[in-house]
Chain A
Amino acid sequence: MKSFAFATIDQLKAALDKKEISSEELLVFYLKRFEKYDTVLGSALEIFDIDSILENSSTTGSLAQIPGIIKDNICQKGRIASCASKYLEHVKAPYDATAILRLKSAGALLIGRANCDEFAMGCSGENSAYKDTANPWDLSRVSGGSSSGSIAAVAAGLVPWSLGSETGGSVRLPAAFCGITGLKPTYGLISRKGLVAYASSLDQIGIATRTIKDNAQVLSVIAGYDENDFSCAQIPPKDYAQNIDSFDIRGKTIGIIETMFNAEGLDSEIRLALEGVIAQYEKLGVKTKKIQVPSLEYGAAVYFIISRAEAASNLARFDGVRYGHRISSESLFEMYCKTRHDGFGAEVRKRIIVGNYVLSAGHAGRFYQKARQVQAMIQEDLARALFDVDVLLSPVHSIPAFKFGAFDENILQMDLQDYFTGFCNLAGVPALAVPCGFTNEKLPIGFQLIGKHFTEELLYQMAYAYERETTWHTQTPPDFE
């Protein structure tokens, strides 16, 4: 049988239409790939049984019978939603997230739960309470996080698309580490109903695929207003893929964020690859303009404070009373403390403690309040930077995917992986990570395009113009043929 491992959504739809393969055969094909490869990759926490995947699935719709995998912090009714935490090990989602409802009505087959950092907190995927997810390009290295399993599964050709989530770079960073495309949409474009909260003012569901068009097709299904999420914007649904081909990129302007290119520790091979991207765009008739946005230097610091503060508040709901884990104790206070100690992993506990510190009476002014002010400044500076260009271009990562355990002794350096991504979440703007090369060690490199609010269509068009001229997205990890 022809291999569909790295086929695009359009190719799969054509094969189904022409009856080259039945939808059940296609599903079995991917499930077998999980069986064969996921023992070494570790991308899935659970693959559902075939009957339950197909049960009530729609055969019509724009993603009809196309399999995908969902990050374990997005609710799929009747399935476990553990957020890769022991705390929620046995907790089943009582309802579907709005994005899941929309995927189901578009006919998509949801085949399982993807591994991730516990409660989406991490940059490497090493914080899952269950297992590590490896990088398909080098199994001794991390996939990146927090949407580790969602990205690794797509990169290894185990599924064509997946949902992850973004708070500070959790889709774009692993997408760059694994050589695929990852979207962090504008805050408010996709409903957060059914996405377990980490830092609510930053959280968005994100999309991972191997091509730009695939990404746009999934976004077209899940984007749009939802009355169940008041942070969701009144944006009418639209087809984000239909105008990708016809787009004329000549005369557009890209702002190169010099502040990010000058950042300390940016790997020389990554810098070189990004210079190649800029040259390619110029060849296509795009004007480029160097822009300084000095306040972005504070992006990581502001992101650390705001995300941890919101995490401390959001995770207060896990009290051992109504659902999930409980360690019975003599006193209520002890029950809370022991339950939260044993239920949460070390990174989650630390983020809660950092969050409560920066919110506490003596320190809130110096940390949380000040961070909110600097956030407002970053928002304004980015808006100004985007004023007379169409999109901005920046690195996504400073170093290629690293070895497991590389930052065990220096967690702060690990957290600083968010330096290139967190500011987009702080400003609520959309950003798209796109593959643009490999290091000498054959590790993927990515760049990102950043747009004004709700300009996802333009991001796709600009990225597609690059993708069409290059072959990075067609390269596949050799161990996963």
Chain B
Amino acid sequence: MIKVSKQELLEIARTSRIELKEQEIAGMLKELEDMLSYAERISNVVIDHGCAPHKNVNLFRDDIVQVTAYQALLDQAPDVEQNLFVVPKIIETQE
């Protein structure tokens, strides 16, 4: 049985950029531990060296300049001003 500490869960949630409300923590911990405890059975598998996972290969194509009807994309944005996406401020000032 794998145990995950509350601290570790909060750290993973932070990395995931997902808020965890206090009342959600116990349930999430249980489900995370259940899944990991089941998944851990793969540690019993002895790998013979014939079995190497496939390497990921990056494939590229040449860039093609296309004219996109950008209005359709702008329409999906949470916030727009004129023809621009309004994005949240990314530089925060320390008080």
A230:B19 contact, CB within 8 angstroms: no
In the bound assembly, the distance between CA atoms of A3 and B63 in angstroms comes to: 52
A94:B51 contact, CB within 8 angstroms: no
Nearest chain B CB to A316's CB is how many angstroms away? 8
Counting chain B residues whose Cβ lies within 8 A of the other chain, the interface size class is: 35 or more
A370:B76 contact, CB within 8 angstroms: no
A322:B17 contact, CB within 8 angstroms: no
Would you call A319 an interface residue if the criterion is a C-beta within 8 Å of the partner chain's C-beta atoms?
A: yes
Chain B residues, CB < 8 A from A416: 38
| Stretch of A141-149, A353-361, A455-463 that contacts chain B | A353-361
Q: Interface of chain A, helix or strand or loop or mixed?
A: helix
A94:B17 contact, CB within 8 angstroms: no
Would you call A302 an interface residue if the criterion is a C-beta within 8 Å of the partner chain's C-beta atoms?
A: yes
- Given A230-B59, A295-B45, A340-B19, residue A350 in contact with residue B32 (CB < 8 A): yes
A373:B47 contact, CB within 8 angstroms: yes
A-contact 0/1 string along B12-23, CB 8 Å cutoff? 111111111100
B76:A321 contact, CB within 8 angstroms: no
Would you call A415 an interface residue if the criterion is a C-beta within 8 Å of the partner chain's C-beta atoms?
A: yes
A411:B31 contact, CB within 8 angstroms: yes
Chain B residues, CB < 8 A from A349: 16, 18, 28
Would you call A172 an interface residue if the criterion is a C-beta within 8 Å of the partner chain's C-beta atoms?
A: no
| Option from A230, A322, A335, A350 in Cβ contact (under 8 Å) with B76 | A322
B-contact 0/1 string along A368-399, CB 8 Å cutoff? 00111111110010000000000000000000
Within 8 A of A (CB), among B15-70: 15-21, 24, 28, 31-32, 34-36, 38-43, 45, 47-48, 50-54, 59, 61, 69
Would you call B90 an interface residue if the criterion is a C-beta within 8 Å of the partner chain's C-beta atoms?
A: yes
A360:B42 contact, CB within 8 angstroms: no
A337:B39 contact, CB within 8 angstroms: no
| Option from A91, A326, A333, A377 in Cβ contact (under 8 Å) with B79 | A326
B-contact 0/1 string along A287-309, CB 8 Å cutoff? 00000000100101110110010
Would you call A247 an interface residue if the criterion is a C-beta within 8 Å of the partner chain's C-beta atoms?
A: no
B-contact 0/1 string along A323-341, CB 8 Å cutoff? 1111011011101111011
| Option from A304, A321, A367, A371 in Cβ contact (under 8 Å) with B85 | A321
- Given A340-B18, A366-B43, A371-B42, residue A412 in contact with residue B35 (CB < 8 A): yes
Chain A residues, CB < 8 A from B41: 298, 301
A-B contact pairs, 5 of them (CB 8 A): A304-B35, A320-B78, A337-B14, A338-B19, A373-B51
Q: Which residues of B contact A (CB under 8 A)?
A: 4, 9, 12-21, 24, 28, 31-32, 34-36, 38-43, 45, 47-48, 50-54, 59, 61, 69, 72-73, 75-79, 85, 87-90, 92
| Top 4 A-B pairs, shortest CB-CB distance | A326-B78, A341-B19, A323-B76, A372-B53
